[in-house]
Structure 1
């Protein structure tokens, strides 16, 4: 079994995925393949669907793809208005995971189109964002204005973060109801 997958997260090699897909296309059942190779049926169904839609290249790992807001909106529209299932949307638009699409749908339902442009990942450190304010000697008019500008930016960022926290709390309370 160890030769079929790569790494500790059971990421299967492209060759192994292709072997499973070909076995299915040659008459083996998904249930039988699932038992024999100890893979979930949904995983095999996903591989087969992607293979049928895009061929062998669709089984290649797709790390770090960046999707535009317009693309996300198009996919969510296909899911909501055209009646496609999450799996069908993933196959049609070559999205590797149903969970990715599920997140997009949830973002769209909660925040509308603006939900797609929300920043992901760890926020950048604030210490790198602002210059150190000069505290020695008399300040020129330009330095005074720069310092005031920095203070106002910091205050604005703080208010934005507070507003975001309040919105998150309101959304969480709505979900509880």
Structure 2
């Protein structure tokens, strides 16, 4: 079971985007141990909208060419992991970090 419901995520994202509270204040208000999930939800919402906040039932698989395109984009443009994730509509920059780590081992 998911730790936080989709409704809760939407509530906090909406409150952050429409209110005067920052990540840290929202985390404190809702007794969350860290502000990191809120930051991740905001990023996911900005990248994919409401769909970015939904729990996936099936793990998405990305093709090798897609993965190579993301890495090539970073190398050619100097984009950060976050910028690359946004460019390729990925809601989690760590997907790219993992790929780069694996490539560097070869």
What is the TM-score when the length of structure 2 is the normalising length? 0.80
SS in 1 for 2:87: helix
Of 31, 39, 50 in structure 1, the residue corresponding to residue 44 of structure 2 is: 50
CA distance in 1, matches of 2:5, 2:84: 24
The structure with higher relative contact order (CA 8 Å, sep 6+) is 2
Q: 1:134-154: per-residue Cα shift (whole Å, max 9, x none)?
A: xxxxxxxxxxxxxxxxxxxxx
The size of the alignment, in residue pairs, is: 103
Matching residue of 1:61: 55
Give the drift of 1:61. 2.0
Pair member with larger Rg: 1
Relative to structure 1, the CA distance from residue 78 to residue 45 in structure 2 (aligned partners, 3 Å threshold; closer, same or farther) is farther
Relative to structure 1, the CA distance from residue 39 to residue 14 in structure 2 (aligned partners, 3 Å threshold; closer, same or farther) is farther
Relative to structure 1, the CA distance from residue 77 to residue 99 in structure 2 (aligned partners, 3 Å threshold; closer, same or farther) is same
Matching residue of 1:134: none
What is the TM-score when the length of structure 1 is the normalising length? 0.51
For structure 2, the 5+ residue unaligned runs are none
Give the drift of 1:92. 3.0
Relative to structure 1, the CA distance from residue 94 to residue 110 in structure 2 (aligned partners, 3 Å threshold; closer, same or farther) is same
Matching residue of 2:18: 26
Q: Contact between 1:51 and 1:58, CA under 8 Å: does it hold in 2? A: yes
- Over the aligned positions, Cα root-mean-square deviation in angstroms equals 1.9
> Does residue 1:16 correspond to 2:11, yes or no?
no
CA distance in 2, matches of 1:22, 1:107: 36
Give the drift of 1:106. 0.9
CA distance in 1, matches of 2:75, 2:29: 37
Of 65, 72, 82 in structure 2, the residue corresponding to residue 77 of structure 1 is: 72
CA distance in 2, matches of 1:47, 1:56: 10
SS in 2 for 1:55: helix
